[in-house]
Structure 1
Amino acid sequence: MTSLTLRKLCFSLALLACLFVFSAFAQDKEWRPLSVEDRTATTPVVEPDADAEVLFWEIRVDDSTENLVMKHYVRVKIFTERGREKYSKVDIPFRKGIRIKDIMARVTKVDGTVSELAKADVFDREIAKTDKIKVRAKSFAIPNIEPGVVVEYKYQEVYTYGSAEDMRMIFQHDVPVRSKAYYFKPAMNAKYLTFNMSDNKFVKDKNGYYKASMENVPAIKEEPNMPPEDEVRSWLLLYYTDAAKSSTANDFWSRAGYSIVKNWEIKDTLKPGKELKAAAATIAAGVTDPEEQMAKLFAFCKTNVKNISFDTSLTEEQKDDVKPNKSTADTYKRLQGTTTDINELFASLATSLGYETRLAFGGDRSEKFFDPGQAHESFIHFSSVAVKINGKWKYYSPGDKFVPYGLLAWNEEATSVLLLGYKDYVTTETPYSSPQESVAKRTGKFTLSEDGTLTGTVKIEYTGHLSNEFKLDNYKESASKQEEMLKDMVQKGLSTAELSEMSIENVSDPEKPFTYKYKIVVPKYAQKTGKRMFIQPGVFESGSSPAFSTATRKYQIFFHHPWSEEDDIELKLPKGFELDNADVPRPIADPSNISSLNIQVGADQKNGVLVYKRRFSFGSKGYTLFPASSYQPLKGLFDAFHNADTHMLTIKQL
């Protein structure tokens, strides 16, 4: 089988396209018997309000031959019109090296009438293209689907010269499942790690297969600010291993570290030659402070070395054709390279100045929270370069083009890492950033007319993680698309807003804040009643919704990173109007000072200008992950923030 990343992509796309990945129970063409109870059922078993429910879902994985073969069979009951809409179309994703064969589908109505899929109704189409990966699908519409029917699918996947190594077996999905089972026939000694599952183990079955199953599995319910899916769903990771080797986590990481050091040629990176030593001395010339030296090396790697990974002038195919760098000396000589090349060059330069330097391999918090006790190499990747400055490890990633000096990407922060040298490794954690390092600074100068129309100019600057996120979203897009995205963002809160003279700055600049500038007109922004108008001075929070709307919570609450907001607004009132009610929300903060909101309102009566200042901060001390048991106080805190942000003032006509 190809890499875990590709397999995950296929499974994810399948789920996004509302496909069940199922397992055929047998080689023959016959369908398994359908009971009268299931055929005539009117209510779900696992979740009473489900739109559809999988009756069984089986995947038979045969890795005992040169090709990996996966036989799928699913049976699902449709209960509502939403369920019918969701499962009316099927996409079976595949890519190069995978064959999809023996597709069968049928629908059984409550009265026992059966409709089968015709072979001619199956067609190929491209469903996704992500970077270098093109994914196609065998697609078909389900015949005669309606509430009450039972839908069944069968098909086979054949991976040419594939392997089940590092296969993820998913037991929980966005639909409730009465029974989910994997039958696995291994090629050699296999082990597995389970996540969010009770003591579900493989048990010996027939014909060399082993079975792992779960019953009555509830659907994953999407919640705002929930952890990555691998942290909440039930799944296991299958891998092959030498039964004779020790299985402790420390022993595993010692072996894995040795393998990574060898495969990544870390010794060559951390023992640079004369050319790189001379280059480092030149780059840092005249600077003796360690942090200033690192800043010099960082700036050189980020601005002087062309980053092919972020080069919009090249297609992915053209990037593949670029001759790879063989060493950090090669990267320096050519002054171009990938994100990885640039980070490795930084490591060589830092080592050249005499600093203890290591390559950091850690988890990706956008996918899973890495725990070294869960010993598997797929959970880590080369994330940054660690340099010991004044006895403390500092982390750098100049290859991440839009991540500023002093930060790592949010998904690389606050996670366990293995710091690899060419002789040993150190286990530690990357630091978290502060709210003040990721700021949304929003400035507005507005005029309110007598009919309630708001007009003015806006400038919004994003720093830190916020800037990185906006740049990643925008740098590949055309100017018109960038403006369209800005309009959509503003109109999400102010649906009638009209924008003009839009300027989007520093989209591709590696360090400067991502900046929006525009003029805005919002008809009927103020509500007029007789001689009074009601206005929301916090223009940038107008139309916002509460962060958490449900009374209860199932999963942990996860914010990607700390951040802060600074709003400075001047609002010129209509001629002949003055403040009638200028009460201001009290400052809000939690007892642990993790978050705070402070709003100040003033008035320049002489010039008829209302001055509004708002300061918000969240995630102090790195608190961004909270247990579900903290939901009620956290919801109460954000409800208080929302009430203060949407506070109304009254102005009256003299």
Structure 2
Amino acid sequence: MRTFGPCLRFLVLPLLSLSLLTPLHADQWQQPTQQELQMKTDPSAPGAAAVYLYREETVDDSVHMHTFYARIKVLTAQGKSRADVELPYFSSFEDGSFRIRSIEGRTIEPDGKIVPFTGKPYDKLIYKQGDHEVMEKVFTLPDVQVGSILEYRYILDYGDHTLSSPRWIIQQPLFVHEAHYHFNPLKNYTDYTMMDSSGHETPINTLLYATILPPGVKVRAGLDGYDLVIKDVPALVREPHMPPVQSRSLRVLFYYAASTQSKDFWSDAGKRWSKSVDHFASDSPVIRKAVSQIVSPADTPEQKSLKIYEAVMKLDNTDYTRAHSAVENKAEGQKEKNAGDIWLDKRGNSAQLTRLYIALARAAGLKAYDIIVSNRNDTLFDQNYLSWGQLDDELAIVMIDGKPVYLDPGNRFEDYGELAWYHCFADGVRQLDHGTAFASTPGQLYKWDVQTRSAYLTLAPDGSISGQLRIAYTGDYSRRIRQEALKNGVEQAKKDVRSYWQSQVPTGVQLKMNGFIGIDQPDEAVMAVLTVSGTMGSNAGRLRLLPADFFEANAKPVFTSPKRTMPVDLGPVYILQDQVSLNLPPNASVEGKPADNQQMLPQDGVFHVSYTAKGNQYVYDRVSAVAMPLYAPKSYPQLLNYFQKIAQADQQPLVLRMKPVPVTAATSSAPKAGSAK
């Protein structure tokens, strides 16, 4: 029996999709019409920077080849960026590799002149983890100007022992005037088997596809395969804080499967996955010895769970450092076949460390289960889409006093008893005592993620500012900083934090990053310390206007549009606490103080700010908290009103009246006029 490995649907590792980017290799270039050449705007897409005139994608699994072709009309200067083309592909993935070849392109000027692409595309590595490698073919079409038509085409092929069912992402970032898709599946695909992540092979019995299409638009199935022609596809709606767009756009997703019945598929796939978890997390002398070193018989169940969690968290998580290839592991004599191997090697990826925690917890007498979920930041789980590949990350469930506690031992630096925001309200499949079941993770608690932002500032008579910022992070905030430092170094993490706050503080203020406190102490908050310099505020005669809120002075509005079509996902919920003290110069007095403000988002959010001016000191305390991240479009007006009122409060001015600074007489140490020194 032959086997096939990666399908194109797995090209979400770098959050990209081949069919989302570009499309097909027609035998001949289409010749532009006079109307296309003369087009300056597109009434079908008012204000668009560019539009697709035509897209085509053909997939032929019998010859293991995808072909793509695209025609794009540039309408504005912003649309010229479409000349930069990036095509991601798997250059190495377990039992199969993909290759992009036969890249051709040309630019057609508004007067009809054709400028062919004669350059050489270059390869860029965008992802590498162990034996998995994703590359990009990158090239730029020549002499692009407003009014140009851009055309390019290429072929993606793959090994003879690999099948690759297509993902037709119909809705694009640009309006599409016409698109044509065709899929010719391998006729004898039942001779192949599918291999899951645990290495289990399942016979292919059927070819299925899931669709989200406009009313009346259907995929045509015939002896020549599957065909779809569609016209006037609106551009993908991009709204702030929306759920994963790839889970909601118009699309046709083909996939090979062992069963046509949803219940049978998830039952069988769940059993195989659960069996692989139990095999990996099986008891062994190594695991029992490790448990005896970690816990004591007198520990409570919660103490045992915590100690095991902390022991696993100390191991090298190769998803944040560097995964070792099979060749390296063999050379070092490391097998990494089960939890005992991971414990001895002192390293593993996120899924392996999660399963190691489960093995240790079970050996300590605790009930522990695995749950695999879709990453909420990337995709939404759909039970009707019979693909295990939509499930991303494994978490652990441990029973403490009869209640489930959800843990994320594979997420480096995650606190015990907490989940990353993208693992909260996430759907997937979990283990039971007997079998598996669909399941969801609990929501995130806003108290997990706290940011305390303190500023100690002094304003000089000439408007210059000095002082220090101390910003303390817990929860998701601190975890992301530590992970960045682990992946790219502490200096890069410092640069990123400094860059972010530089974009938020008032114009004219300059920040210098001094460093972190507690970054190497995972049980503590991470504190960023920055030095403040520069100028703050603007003059209006004898008045000086300062922003009321130092940390939100240049913050972008959360929402601006009066209408909403997509649901809202705010991501992490949080508490922000600001404490700012500003010492005023002797010649300044407060003419106008911002008004205190309080807003409520019923059950889901609270905002409060109070301003105090006493003597030569101005102080404000601000608290903003959001406890629920997910909202339906019908709740958007209330959400918009809440954040708009917060923005209005943050943009109030502090008004100072500035008295003239007396000019003092020259002292005896100063040289007198006409004298030499």
- Common fold by TM > 0.5: yes
| 3-state secondary structure, aligned to 1:540 | coil
Counterpart contact for 2:54–2:178, Cα < 8 Å: yes
User: Which of 629, 636, 639 is matched with 2:644 structurally?
Assistant: 639
Counterpart contact for 2:122–2:139, Cα < 8 Å: no
Q: 1:228 & 1:320 partners in 2: Cα distance?
A: 39
Q: 1:110 & 1:516 partners in 2: Cα distance?
A: 53
39 and 359 in structure 1: CA distance in 2 versus 1, 3 angstrom threshold: same
- Deviations 1:222-271, CA, capped at 9 Å, x for gaps: 322122221332223211124xx4513x3221011122134x242451x4
User: Which of 194, 198, 219 is matched with 1:202 structurally?
Assistant: 219
- Deviations 1:91-148, CA, capped at 9 Å, x for gaps: 444453334344443444555x452526xx1313123432336555555543454344
Name the residue aligned to 1:7.
11
317 and 478 in structure 1: CA distance in 2 versus 1, 3 angstrom threshold: farther
1:20 is the counterpart of 2:22: yes
User: Which of 127, 131, 140 is matched with 2:128 structurally?
Assistant: 131
Name the residue aligned to 2:52.
54
Counterpart contact for 1:14–1:91, Cα < 8 Å: no
1:87 is the counterpart of 2:97: no
**What one-letter code is carried by the residue in structure 2 that aligns with 1:172?**
Q
Q: 1:320 & 1:602 partners in 2: Cα distance?
A: 66
Q: 1:574 & 1:402 partners in 2: Cα distance?
A: 44
Name the residue aligned to 1:369.
380
Q: Percent identity?
A: 22
Counterpart contact for 1:542–1:646, Cα < 8 Å: yes
What is the deviation of 1:298?
1.0
What is the deviation of 1:40?
4.2
Q: 1:295 & 1:10 partners in 2: Cα distance?
A: 33
Provide the aligned length of Structure 1 versus Structure 2: 628
| 3-state secondary structure, aligned to 2:319 | helix
Name the residue aligned to 2:269.
256
Name the residue aligned to 1:150.
149
| TM alignment of 1:423-462, pairs within 5 A | 423-462=434-473
1:348 is the counterpart of 2:356: no
Q: 1:23 & 1:381 partners in 2: Cα distance?
A: 32
Instruction: Using the TM superposition, name which of 405-414 and 6-15 deviates more.
Output: 6-15
Q: 1:316 & 1:475 partners in 2: Cα distance?
A: 23
- Deviations 1:350-396, CA, capped at 9 Å, x for gaps: 11232221111111101112233443211113421111223322111
Give the gaps of 5 or more residues in structure 2.
92-96, 190-205, 660-677
Name the residue aligned to 2:202.
none
Counterpart contact for 1:388–1:394, Cα < 8 Å: yes
Q: 1:149 & 1:268 partners in 2: Cα distance?
A: 57
- Deviations 1:172-198, CA, capped at 9 Å, x for gaps: 111110122220111233101124655
What is the deviation of 1:456?
1.1
Q: 2:611 & 2:336 partners in 1: Cα distance?
A: 58
**What one-letter code is carried by the residue in structure 2 that aligns with 1:70?**
H
197 and 159 in structure 1: CA distance in 2 versus 1, 3 angstrom threshold: farther
Name the residue aligned to 1:226.
242
1:614 is the counterpart of 2:611: no
Name the residue aligned to 1:338.
349
**What one-letter code is carried by the residue in structure 1 that aligns with 2:527?**
T
Instruction: Using the TM superposition, name which of 432-441 and 194-203 deviates more.
Output: 194-203
Name the residue aligned to 1:499.
511
Q: 1:268 & 1:127 partners in 2: Cα distance?
A: 35
Counterpart contact for 1:179–1:217, Cα < 8 Å: yes
Name the residue aligned to 1:598.
608
Name the residue aligned to 1:175.
174
RMSD of equivalent CA atoms: 3.1
Name the residue aligned to 2:338.
327
What is the deviation of 1:537?
4.2
What is the deviation of 1:153?
2.7
What is the deviation of 1:51?
2.6
| TM alignment of 1:236-275, pairs within 5 A | 236-242=252-258, 245-248=259-262, 250-262=263-275, 264-267=276-279, 269=281, 271-275=282-286
Counterpart contact for 1:122–1:138, Cα < 8 Å: no
What is the deviation of 1:614?
1.0
Q: 1:147 & 1:337 partners in 2: Cα distance?
A: 51
Name the residue aligned to 1:628.
633
- Deviations 1:578-625, CA, capped at 9 Å, x for gaps: 4333353221112x23111111223454xx33332111101x2xx212
Counterpart contact for 2:10–2:389, Cα < 8 Å: no
Q: 1:320 & 1:172 partners in 2: Cα distance?
A: 45
**What one-letter code is carried by the residue in structure 2 that aligns with 1:69?**
M
Counterpart contact for 1:77–1:151, Cα < 8 Å: yes
Counterpart contact for 2:597–2:610, Cα < 8 Å: no
1:511 is the counterpart of 2:516: no
Counterpart contact for 2:279–2:338, Cα < 8 Å: no
| 3-state secondary structure, aligned to 2:71 | strand
Name the residue aligned to 2:395.
384
216 and 582 in structure 1: CA distance in 2 versus 1, 3 angstrom threshold: same
Counterpart contact for 1:467–1:513, Cα < 8 Å: yes
What is the deviation of 1:640?
0.6
**What one-letter code is carried by the residue in structure 1 that aligns with 2:105?**
A
599 and 21 in structure 1: CA distance in 2 versus 1, 3 angstrom threshold: same
**What one-letter code is carried by the residue in structure 1 that aligns with 2:430?**
L
| 3-state secondary structure, aligned to 1:472 | helix
Q: 1:130 & 1:554 partners in 2: Cα distance?
A: 34
Counterpart contact for 2:212–2:251, Cα < 8 Å: yes
| 3-state secondary structure, aligned to 2:11 | helix
Q: 1:145 & 1:477 partners in 2: Cα distance?
A: 36
Name the residue aligned to 1:161.
160
503 and 154 in structure 1: CA distance in 2 versus 1, 3 angstrom threshold: closer
276 and 418 in structure 1: CA distance in 2 versus 1, 3 angstrom threshold: same
Counterpart contact for 1:23–1:57, Cα < 8 Å: no
**What one-letter code is carried by the residue in structure 2 that aligns with 1:336?**
R
1:490 is the counterpart of 2:501: yes
Q: 1:529 & 1:77 partners in 2: Cα distance?
A: 48
178 and 398 in structure 1: CA distance in 2 versus 1, 3 angstrom threshold: same
77 and 582 in structure 1: CA distance in 2 versus 1, 3 angstrom threshold: closer
**What one-letter code is carried by the residue in structure 1 that aligns with 2:617?**
V
Give the TM-score normalised by structure 2: 0.84
Instruction: Using the TM superposition, name which of 635-644 and 389-398 deviates more.
Output: 389-398
Counterpart contact for 2:210–2:254, Cα < 8 Å: yes
**What one-letter code is carried by the residue in structure 2 that aligns with 1:235?**
R
Give the TM-score normalised by structure 1: 0.87
Counterpart contact for 1:578–1:653, Cα < 8 Å: yes
- Deviations 1:554-601, CA, capped at 9 Å, x for gaps: 3222111211101112222222544333353221112x2311111122
Counterpart contact for 1:443–1:569, Cα < 8 Å: yes
Q: 2:101 & 2:170 partners in 1: Cα distance?
A: 24
Q: 2:104 & 2:289 partners in 1: Cα distance?
A: 66
Q: 1:226 & 1:317 partners in 2: Cα distance?
A: 42
320 and 436 in structure 1: CA distance in 2 versus 1, 3 angstrom threshold: farther
